[in-house]
Amino acid sequence: MPIGLGNHFPNQLRQRLSYSTAYLLGRRITWETASRTRQHASSSSNPRQIIFSGIQPTGIPHLGNYFGALQQWVKIQDGATSTTDLFFSIVDLHAMTLPYDQAGLRLQKRQTLAALLAVGLDPQRSTIFFQSAVPAHTELMWILSCTASVGYLSRMTQWKVRYTSKLAMSDSIALSDSDAKAKLKLGLFSYPVLQSADILLYRATHVPVGHDQAQHLEFARENVKNFNTTHGQFFTEPQTVMSPAKRVMSLKDPRVKMSKSHEDPRSRILLNDSPEMIRMKIKAALTDSIDGLYYDPAQRPGVSNLLMLMSYMDASHRSVEQIAAEGQALSMRAFKEGVAETLIKGMTKLKERYDCFMDNAQTQYLRDVAAMGNEKARLKAEETMIAVREIVGINAF
């Protein structure tokens, strides 16, 4: 069972420090610190890598979230050297761009934090925090908005593809459409600017993303260019770290990615699903009536998706081709049973750890982890913002 952080939780991180008297790991953030921060921005000799990535608090992650992002975060953390700083944020402000239930959001924030710890993120190695606990995110968003291009934002596809179906709007909408103007909210349209602020606030050098987030990194780099052109060289363009995992598809509609927005809960497997639930969902997964097993996402998307899931969780690390070759004599029913048992075996510890962290007895532990991460993030963010305020001319005179 997880226990309180005890002596590993520094006393100064328990204190709510005001921005005017902020201390970074025991030393005051001064204008000299800000000056050094600005110098590091243009110095190619600075060896530190800064990793940042975020996840929306949509509740219990599914296997698409796990293989596409969370598992990669843990691998990055475990392989990082002492010259790498790691920031992983639960970006709850982004969850407000569409209508939501307030009590539900609070629960989903807790579930997401528990999931990050369950998959193996270590709060002593990585800074794990809530975006809303760091006001500098929205402050930097405003500053970036003053140089961001509306034209560029309007051409971005993600806010259309990802959200318009929920608003009963066509994904071919344009800002010139009167219906779009009536339904589209500013937060939904401009959230990529906040996403850029999320990244740049921590001076991220590398950002792990899935394939559908690559466009947002391009926009972040565009914001860096706009800011530096207007105010002088400061921010560094972050590099994209693309997830090597193939996209996990819906079990009920394997031509679209696994998502919680799908109306059928059998379309996805959650990290805390019981063995019985996993067996039921895999049994009901859409496949085909073609004999034999082979990996062909175009012609056999359902079977290929199950082969990929089995390969990801396979204890022997077999490829999809090896699994297919060894299962040629299996019926589809037997194949699905094998997939289900492989997933159950691979997910047992994840489920146990998640359920443990979600136990009411661990509420204070989760609060301690969040408090420590939030404060570390605030202090790092303030170091950046002191320099930014000076650069743009809004610092104290």
- Using pLDDT thresholds of 50, 70 and 90, give the confidence band for residue 159: low
176: helix, coil or strand? coil
Cα separation, 286 vs 267, in Å, equals 9
180: helix, coil or strand? helix
pTM as predicted: 0.86
Per residue in 56-76, pLDDT tens?
999 999 999 999 999 999 999
CA 338 remoteness from chain centre: 30
The 8 Å CB, 24+ separation contacts for 70-75 are 70/115, 70/116, 70/119, 70/121, 71/119, 71/245, 72/208, 72/243, 72/244, 72/245, 73/116, 73/119, 73/121, 73/126, 73/208, 74/119, 74/120, 74/121
pLDDT of residue 265: 96
Sign of the dihedral through C-alpha 130, 135, 138, 139: negative
Averaged pLDDT, 28-56: 65
Q: Exposed e or buried b for every residue in 355-367, given b needs 16+ CB within 10 A?
A: ebbbeeebeebbe
> Distances in Å between the alpha carbon of 207 and those of 242, 247, 256, 313?
8, 18, 24, 25
Q: Is the pLDDT of residue 2 over 90?
A: no
pLDDT of residue 375: 98
For residue 277, what are the contacts with CB-CB under 8 A and spacing of at least 6?
269
